[in-house]
Structure 1
Amino acid sequence: MSNSNSTSSDFIIVGFPGLQDYQNILFIIFLALFLVTFIGNITILLLVVADQRLHTPMYIFLWNLALLDVLMAVALIPKLLSVFLSHKTVSFTECFVQMYFVISFGATEIFLVAAMAYDRYVAVVKPLHYNVIINFKTCLTIIICVWVFGFIVPIVTVTTAAFLPYCASKEIMHCFCDYPAVISLACADVTFYANFTLCLAMVVVYGPLLFVLWTYCRIVYAVIQLKSAESRKKAFSMCISHVIIVLMYYISCAIVYIGLRINNISYDGRIFIGGLNYFFTPMVNPIIYSLRNEVCTHLSDLKLA
């Protein structure tokens, strides 16, 4: 793995070190994943903009989720495709810019999922007041806060990591500029930075999770109080897509957390597990919402028109 063409400030993204003989196959797989993710989410973006019937808070939140998934895919996969074509060098600035945006998009998505849970909570628990509580102004305020908080979260960690001295190996043992993989290359004690980042990640991930659990406890209790089975079925159907997204996201987080602590997993296995949230979730999100919401109906209407 030659480093002769790179400067002292460059990093080398290793990709999947044990699969060097399958670079062309990996290129095709990730190109297909990128196209599916991009087309699926762009379709939702265009559909929500074009159809006046979808200009409601739920679909505005969904529009932002699709936008985040597109941005995450664009931030990660094109560079990874170039790695498969043996263009493994990434400049210091490019690496930390990628790191910042990947963390920002991930944090924003976590906050957005919590906001969507609140939207479903009001829709089920306080249906008569829904249009008053979740009006356009409130929806816009929530979305702005979600994006602002998401982009504030990584500023300290990424900035401090950028000022660490990198004087040893420049080979990033991952398929993108992942924070732990990069700071492990610093020729300094990074224990404090790693622990601080872990604590911050726990707050960012599990704070919204506790809020989501609270909202769904209230939703379940409210649904149980409904007298008719049809009303209960309708109430649950309003939330099922969001429940699947939440479960998928946090189950994948758990798999990453557990998998990366199993000692006998290969580098390639660790890299694949570490990238699970970044590659799998953006591809599946539009599929879940398209199957469970009226998006499919509107898509069919547009095709027939």
Structure 2
Amino acid sequence: MADANYTGSMVSEFIIVGFPGLQDRESKAILFAVFLTTYFYMALPSIERFNLLLMAYDRYVAICHPLHYPAKMTVKFTLQLLVVCWLGGFLSPILDFSVTLTKQFCGPNRVLQCFCDYAGVLRLACGDVLSISYFSLFVVLSLLLIPLFFIVLSYVKIIQSVLCISSSAGRAKAFSTCSSHLLVISVFFLTSAGVYISYRIPGTSVDMRVMGSVIQNVFPALMNPIIYCLRTKEIRDNLVKSLKRIQIFPVSK
């Protein structure tokens, strides 16, 4: 009976609620300034997945075919791969959005999210959206698992090649080359998997789910420069000196 009250007029706009517990004017202004992204919310994580796959392929060629690396990974070929990654990332959400737009919206228009998340919009559609929801889940999992599969395949080949190196110093150097990339991959994919799992845990509050989406987009990007910078010995040494200078680390006498 409640749905029947909404069938008299069609909905043409949606209101993104964000954090239900932060609805005062000041909080809304801050959150709006920080989270003013519609389409980038879906496109940029896809680009990140493709870039991580590209980096895995780069390490595969460098370690498994070192003599062919200059000929294969030319600047022109690398730029072409980067363009493909960005185009794939920006085109991948179009399929989900086009399917969502085929539905009619004649009810509530408050989206419980900080981003213009198509899944949050889809839940407000009239009629049965179960099949579209499963289709969207299939697309998301494909964009998550297919790059991960090829990344794992690349590293299986890399590990096989590294184990064939006779000297322990050579093996250590090869593994050191891949360590930062593996750490970035772990942070990105584990965070994404944790958020997807949390969505399906009953009793999880709306605020926690919204915060999970924020962490999924912010945390990996925040950790990337830290992980890559700390691989450089000069940066590590300068960081330790700075921490000793402000007496976080005791200075040995």
1:240/1:292 contact within 8 Å kept? no
Do residues 10 (structure 1) and 10 (structure 2) align?
Answer: no
Superposition TM-score, scaled by structure 1 size: 0.68
Q: Cα offset for 1:109?
A: 1.3
One-letter amino acid of the structure 1 residue matched with residue 18 of structure 2: G
Task: State the partner residue of 1:155.
Answer: 94
**RMSD of equivalent CA atoms:** 2.8
Q: Cα offset for 1:124?
A: 1.2
1:100/1:155 contact within 8 Å kept? no
2:47/2:88 contact within 8 Å kept? yes
* Residue number among 151, 176, 185 corresponding to 2:124 in the alignment: 185
Task: State the partner residue of 1:249.
Answer: 188
Superposition TM-score, scaled by structure 2 size: 0.81
Task: State the partner residue of 1:80.
Answer: 35
In percent, how many aligned pairs have the same letter?
36
Paired with 2:190 and 2:104, the residues of 1 have a C-alpha distance of 35
1:187 and 1:25, CA in 2 relative to 1: closer, same or farther beyond 3 A? closer
The answer to which structure has the higher helix fraction is 1
1:105/1:150 contact within 8 Å kept? yes
Q: Secondary structure of 1:17's partner? A: coil
1:120 and 1:26, CA in 2 relative to 1: closer, same or farther beyond 3 A? farther
One-letter amino acid of the structure 2 residue matched with residue 231 of structure 1: G
Do residues 275 (structure 1) and 214 (structure 2) align?
Answer: yes
1:25 and 1:283, CA in 2 relative to 1: closer, same or farther beyond 3 A? farther
Q: Which runs of 5+ in 1 are unaligned?
A: 1-7, 31-76, 82-97, 301-305
Q: Secondary structure of 1:153's partner? A: helix
Q: Secondary structure of 2:134's partner? A: helix
Paired with 1:143 and 1:185, the residues of 2 have a C-alpha distance of 36
After TM superposition, the structure 1 = structure 2 runs for residues 156-305 of structure 1, keeping only pairs within 5 Å, are 156-293=95-232, 296=235
Q: Cα offset for 1:23?
A: 6.2
2:41/2:115 contact within 8 Å kept? no
Q: Which runs of 5+ in 2 are unaligned?
A: 1-10, 240-253
Paired with 2:75 and 2:206, the residues of 1 have a C-alpha distance of 47
Give deviations 1:28-60, integer Å, cap 9, x for gaps: xx7xxxxxxxxxxxxxxxxxxxxxxxxxxxxxx
1:132 and 1:201, CA in 2 relative to 1: closer, same or farther beyond 3 A? same
Do residues 106 (structure 1) and 45 (structure 2) align?
Answer: yes
**Number of equivalenced pairs:** 229
Q: Cα offset for 1:234?
A: 1.0
